[in-house]
């Protein structure tokens, strides 16, 4: 019975994480950040959250960028 509860809890956590990683505002924010850094992207179509202010963004043109904050600066690195 405990295993069943754990499975359901894990499923709900996974579902909420998927929701958090599909926020249109966050996608737009990442798109703007990548554009501000002068990197080719077009538009961020999806992203995953790696941590606090730490994302991996996938662009419409296929480019993938690691966007994170380091020492108060936003860093955009091509992966």
Partner 1 sequence: MTPLLRVVIAVGALLPAACALDSAPPARAPMATRPVEPAAPASVAQAPAPGTPPAAKAPPPPQASAVPAKPNPPAPAAAAPAKPRPPASAATAPAKPQAPAPLASAPAPLDLQSLEKRLKDTSAIGVLTKLSLKNQVDDLIGRFRAYHQGARPPTLTDLRPAFDLLLMKVLSLLQDHDPGLARDINASRDAIWAVLTDPRKLAQFA
Q: Does 28 bind partner 1 (CB under 8 A)?
A: yes
Show contacts with partner 1 in window 60-79 (CB under 8 A): 67, 69, 72-74
CB of 59 to partner 1, least distance (A): 9
Greatest CA separation for the chain: 53
The answer to whether the beta carbons of residues 13 and 5 sit under 8 Å apart is no
Q: Does 48 bind partner 1 (CB under 8 A)?
A: no
CB of 53 to partner 1, least distance (A): 7
The alpha carbon dihedral of 15, 63, 26, 77 has a sign of positive
């Amino acid at each position: 019975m405990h295993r069943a509860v754990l499975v359901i809890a894990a499923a709900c956590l996974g579902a909420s994480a998927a929701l958090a990683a599909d926020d249109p505002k966050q996608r737009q924010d990442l798109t703007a950040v990548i554009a501000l850094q002068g990197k080719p992207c077009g538009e961020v179509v999806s992203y995953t959250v790696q941590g606090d202010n730490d994302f991996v963004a996938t662009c419409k043109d296929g480019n993938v960028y690691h966007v994170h904050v380091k020492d108060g600066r936003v860093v955009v690195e091509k992966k």
